[in-house]
Structure 1
């Protein structure tokens, strides 16, 4: 299995990207890597070229570039060439820590979406706290589509269910719709239509509406929403976690000697809390609904997170998740067409 990697994307590229790839290469003997980037910067960083090939990509799409324009103009960039390798069958998956919009655009415009899926959804895995039988849940869309129609969210439920089954090994994933209340009649007209559509699908284990305050408690295995709401919710969760850790640290430092001694005794506890809230351990965000895995990991990713993300891609490839989705939507063409018509 081959993974095309954008070596130039991210705050610490290419150094941390190369380190992460080498860690993953050592951990997964069945993986090969095509490292796309400026060869004069990437090659010297490699300590061992076993199953790693540097593919020259002289151009770089920066965080400041307008995504679609950059994809169309910078044809020799690491993002474009890595995505093209997947489209041409030279690689099986694409990984980047670079410009999020450009990665999404490359996935849609170059790799291509699965027939029958209107809009792929960006999927991330988040932690569940203090629930022994559940460590995480999946949420989508978290930012691929700001403007989303009810039918798109219904398709997210199908894709999220497959992801939870194949990657998280959940036999019968509970699917919840993010809303402003748990009652069936909550939300605007679109949310009520989505709720009724999901409730009527025998193939979905729909548990109804879920509220954002309950997400980290494990109220569902898959949470679906529109891309605008999902992105805002994700950033609120991340921001709250960081703010709480800073608040605790500030209170300790201002508490004098006694506070610092107490903090020293509680250090293992704080370490466990930080570990529980560290979403990077689950890898990156997957653009579900494409013909092959396209994964965007955090821009601040270092080697460990890159390795974790490659582990996630390894699982995606081993379980043939993209092929399963292709098969599902091929077999349910009429059902999807009827649902789409009913949700207009």
Structure 2
């Protein structure tokens, strides 16, 4: 059954304009989408953009400044309604560019955890020199404090995603540390290392921060605090690097002429490194495909998030992990 992707159309800094525009583009690409949110506003936005999509009314919105626990009180919030559509098998996946904490809380309360996974984790796909063109970093921010057993579970989640979503056969799994030797790392890493070693995975041992973007590992496992810092560092470095390149190519007439020659190549590189290329990050370990995007996402990011969510819904990943009884 080709179920639609439920989009929390009220989530994000530029909703509903950008969410509706992104949804229309995804629908044009063949992805069925149902918009969830204030029906009057969404119908008006659809009319202004000259499109048509099904809408499920949700009278409440959990604002970015609200506490994540508001999902318990606001049962008719757009993110909760979107999650219920997935739970009731009326949608194949849920996507939100809104409150990330509320999205995680709603997924846990509404969908629940997959058996064998104590905590869900966020996976980030970062452009790298690996054959697949990306490295899968998990956890990227869902769990600041974890136990060694959680890293073992994150490794299983990340490897399954890399194989089924990115097509990486027997992905190389590395544990982020401060040295390659098994004796290096903090207490968490030292205790997690033997747990990952015993798994039926292609565990290659510890990897360092410098290996994150190199062709060393396909999946890098860490706690959410460290993972989020690494992710933001990579994104920030990319922005600074392109700023330096732009500055260098504007420094003289000769440099400007050279810039014209490499302009198209630089545009392709910039698109590859743009976080909007991936759209949103999957929350793995819950009983349904859930994607969380950045609050400042534009329509391109929304479109790509919907495309990836639809792909995951049809990949059988949740079923493979034991998320369907």
- TM-score, length-normalised on structure 2? 0.93
* Pairwise CA distance, 1:181: 0.9
- Give the CA RMSD over aligned residues: 1.8
* Pairwise CA distance, 1:116: 2.0
Aligned pair 1:71/2:71, yes or no? yes
Q: Structure 2 unaligned segments of length 5 or more: list them.
A: none
In 1, distance between residues paired with 2:264 and 2:90? 46
Task: Pick from 234, 254, 263 the counterpart of residue 267 of structure 1.
Answer: 263
Q: State the partner residue of 1:60.
A: 61
Q: State the partner residue of 2:183.
A: 185
Q: State the partner residue of 1:11.
A: 13
In 2, distance between residues paired with 1:237 and 1:215? 9
Q: State the partner residue of 1:32.
A: 32
Q: State the partner residue of 1:340.
A: none
Q: Do 2:6 and 2:92's aligned partners in 1 also have CA atoms closer than 8 Å?
A: yes
1:88-119 superposed Cα distances (whole Å, 9 cap, x missing partner) = 33222110001111111111122211122100
Q: State the partner residue of 2:241.
A: 244
Q: Secondary structure at the match of 1:266?
A: helix
In 2, distance between residues paired with 1:157 and 1:170? 14
Q: Do 1:5 and 1:35's aligned partners in 2 also have CA atoms closer than 8 Å?
A: yes
* Pairwise CA distance, 1:18: 1.1
Q: State the partner residue of 1:207.
A: 204
Q: State the partner residue of 2:316.
A: 320
Q: Secondary structure at the match of 1:169?
A: coil
In 1, distance between residues paired with 2:195 and 2:240? 38
Q: Secondary structure at the match of 1:217?
A: coil
Q: Do 1:92 and 1:293's aligned partners in 2 also have CA atoms closer than 8 Å?
A: yes
Q: Do 2:112 and 2:286's aligned partners in 1 also have CA atoms closer than 8 Å?
A: yes
* Pairwise CA distance, 1:73: 2.6
1:166-196 superposed Cα distances (whole Å, 9 cap, x missing partner) = 1011111110101111111110222111111
Q: State the partner residue of 1:334.
A: none
Q: How many residue pairs are counted as aligned between the two chains? A: 320
Q: Structure 1 unaligned segments of length 5 or more: list them.
A: 331-344
Within 5 Å, which residues of 2 pair with 1:120-131?
120-129=120-129
In 2, distance between residues paired with 1:187 and 1:146? 17
Q: Secondary structure at the match of 2:322?
A: helix
Within 5 Å, which residues of 2 pair with 1:168-317?
168-201=166-199, 203-253=200-250, 255-317=251-313
Q: Do 1:136 and 1:218's aligned partners in 2 also have CA atoms closer than 8 Å?
A: no
Q: Secondary structure at the match of 1:242?
A: helix
In 2, distance between residues paired with 1:56 and 1:279? 30
In 1, distance between residues paired with 2:71 and 2:244? 41
Task: Pick from 36, 46, 51 the counterpart of residue 48 of structure 1.
Answer: 51
In 2, distance between residues paired with 1:32 and 1:240? 36
- TM-score, length-normalised on structure 1? 0.88
Q: Secondary structure at the match of 2:54?
A: strand
* Pairwise CA distance, 1:71: 1.0
* Pairwise CA distance, 1:279: 3.2
In 1, distance between residues paired with 2:13 and 2:206? 37
